[in-house]
Amino acid sequence: MQAEVAGNYIDEKAATITAVSNRIWALAEVGLHEEQSAQYLADALRTEGFDVRLGAGGMPSGLEATWGEGRPVIGFLGEYDALPGVSQKALPLREELSPGSAGHGCGHNLLGAGAFGAVIGLKREMEARGLTGTIKYFGCPAEENFGGKAHMAREGLFTACDACLTWHPGPLNFVRSAASLAVDSMNVTFRGRTAHAAADPHNGRSALDAVQLMNLGVEFLREHMPAKARVHYVITNGGGQPNVVPATATVWYYVRAPQRGMVDELYQRVIRCARGAAEMTETECDIELLDAIWELLPNTTLEKVLAECMARVGPPRFGEAEREFARKLSESFRPGQREAFLAAAFEGAAAVPEELGGQLLNDTVVPRVEAAAQPRGSTDVGDTSWCCPTAQFGMACSAIGTPGHSWQFAAQSGMGIGHAGMLQAAKVLAEAGLVLLTDPATLAAAREEFARRTGGKAYRCAMPDGFKPPFHQLANK
């Protein structure tokens, strides 16, 4: 490791960084409601000498913390939103921490605390070396559902950076070069007329009928969509009980495609299905956009920096307690889940690296992978990546085969497995930050690649001016 001062400081502060992670893990606040998590991080950053601003991007849980002066400006992205329904104790058996509540089934407590560890370590390194430059910690709300980074991007927070770095907890230590899908998220609410469903159904105009006909329209549309597009929905309000013709009904849609422009087009076609359904059922329909984010623009120059830094820093160090926990937990995995995960992670690569054959906890550094052609999900890191060169890596914080967004993931995010990965991720980020602060040629190459990939297309937030994040959509439970 070259950023030795940073590495030593991260070790010295391991208890504090872990406490931040555990606090966020126990709070388990869902997207746009992470006020206490953000506040806790804000206090911790202030204690370390950062200038802290809450309310970034027009969200109470949005956070921007700054230290240093002048260029380059290097941003580090943190997240801390939980997922509904996966509350879990730090045990290898299913046991809810708070029944029916949210939990950190994607490890964003580790993500936020790991990036915190990186900036406090890097600050020490810069002080020791007398480096000029600015480091920023961005606390980004609602990655899982409402694209907090897009709101922060609209404020210009990322265009003000020379580069941004982040990471994500997962089962593997590697840089996986993968794009993501741009997405629009919206509520479609139909309004009809209620009636007694048996006595005078002819007087009713069912909003639920409209939802079903819209969905049917979209199912037929599916055949004529671009192959890599993805559309899915849930009915969040389908009426009260069967003997009342529903006067209102709501369906929540995601429309995804590999490029922002494709989503814009497909969104209009889905809306046509809604309007057609309203016409058929003599109902009215309202469309409420909830979130609109961009696809990820990869930056190979930065990805290589991250891969080199990870090779220097090394993998997380797991002890016997962590191995035993992983072994017990893996009894809850479906047969073949581990193999299926590895096949998917390395789809498009020559083969699954041999070294992973017998590993349950990944304690080696896996070479950088160019991912398969079909992007799997969406992330609001996409919006950041259109504002400045951006890259991310994965660090092992869960056993190989752990399902995504699961109680098993939540369990590991609150104990030694997650903590070991988080502390190592903090060191990799700090190491990469030092490279970008001290090697102008690499930073210039990353910026050149960024200019080439954007093709001169300027970022514009896909949400209309004056758009407010949908604080009402999910309750914090």
Alpha helices in 48-147 (DSSP H): 108-129
User: Which C-beta is closer to Zn ion: that of 158 or that of 409?
Assistant: 409
Q: Are 159 and 150 in contact (CB under 8 A)?
A: no
CB of 187 to Zn ion, least distance (A): 23
Q: How many residues comprise the chain?
A: 477
Nearer to Zn ion, 38 or 274 (CB): 38
CA–CA separation, 386 and 389 (whole Å) = 7
Q: Is 25 left (phi over 0), alpha (psi -120 to 50) or beta?
A: alpha
Three-state secondary structure call for residue 436:
helix
Q: Shortest gap between Cβ of 108 and Zn ion (angstroms)?
A: 6
Least distance (Å) between residue 372 CB and Zn ion: 19
DSSP state, residue 193: B
Q: 299-338: which residues touch Zn ion (CB under 5 A)? A: none
Pick 204 or 316: Cβ nearer Zn ion? 316
Shortest gap between Cβ of 17 and Zn ion (angstroms)? 19
CA 179 vs CA 298, 300, 310, 343, 459: distances in Å: 6, 12, 21, 18, 17
Over its C-alpha atoms, the chain yields an Rg (Å, rounded) of 23
Find the helix or strand (DSSP H, E) in which 416 lies.
helix 416-438
Helix (H, G, I), strand (E, B) or coil at 8: helix
Closest residue by beta carbon to Zn ion: 106
Of 215 and 476, CB closest to Zn ion = 476
Q: Of the two residues 106 and 306, which places its CB atom closer to Zn ion in the complex?
A: 106
Measured in Å, how far apart are the chain's first and last C-alpha atoms? 42
Measured from the CB atom, is 44 or 106 closer to Zn ion?
106
Residues 26 and 113 sit within 8 Å (Cβ to Cβ) = no
CB of residue 402 to Zn ion, shortest distance in Å: 13
Q: Give the C-alpha separation, 88 to 340, whole Å.
A: 24
What's 403's DSSP letter? P
DSSP letter for each residue of 153-184? HHTTTTTT-SEEEEEEEES--B-EE----EEE
**Tokens read off for 415:** 């104990």
In 10 A of CB 214, how many CB atoms?
Answer: 28
Binders of Zn ion in range 422-451 (CB under 5 A): none
> Is the Cα dihedral 405, 411, 416, 417 positive or negative?
negative
**Nearest distance, CB of residue 250 and Zn ion, angstroms:** 26
Least distance from Zn ion to the Cβ atom of residue 151, Å: 18
Q: How far is the CB of 316 from Zn ion (least distance, A)?
A: 18
Rounded least distance, CB 135 to Zn ion, Å: 23
- Closer residue to Zn ion in complex, CB, 67/80: 80
Between 107 and 192, whose beta carbon lies closer to Zn ion? 107
Q: Which of residues 58-117 bind Zn ion (CB under 5 A)?
A: 106
Nearer to Zn ion, 144 or 162 (CB): 144
**Residue number, 6 or 63, with CB nearest to Zn ion:** 63
**CB count in 10 Å sphere of residue 288:** 14
Task: With residue 447 as reference, give the H or E element that holds it.
Answer: helix 440-454
Asked if 388 contacts 82 with a C-beta cutoff of 8 angstroms, the reply is: no
Number of residues that bind Zn ion (CB under 5 A): 1
381 is a site residue for Zn ion (CB under 5 A): no
Shortest separation between residue 366's beta carbon and Zn ion, angstroms = 19
| Shorter beta-carbon distance to Zn ion: residue 106 or 277 | 106
Nearer CB in complex with Zn ion: 83/305:
83
Cβ(453)–Cβ(297) below 8 Å: yes
**Cβ 310 to Zn ion shortest distance, Å:** 19
Q: Is residue 92 reached through a cis peptide bond, with omega within 30 degrees of 0 on the bond before it? A: no
Query: Minimum distance between the CB of residue 429 and Zn ion, rounded to whole angstroms?
Result: 16
| Contact residues for Zn ion, defined by CB under 5 A | 106
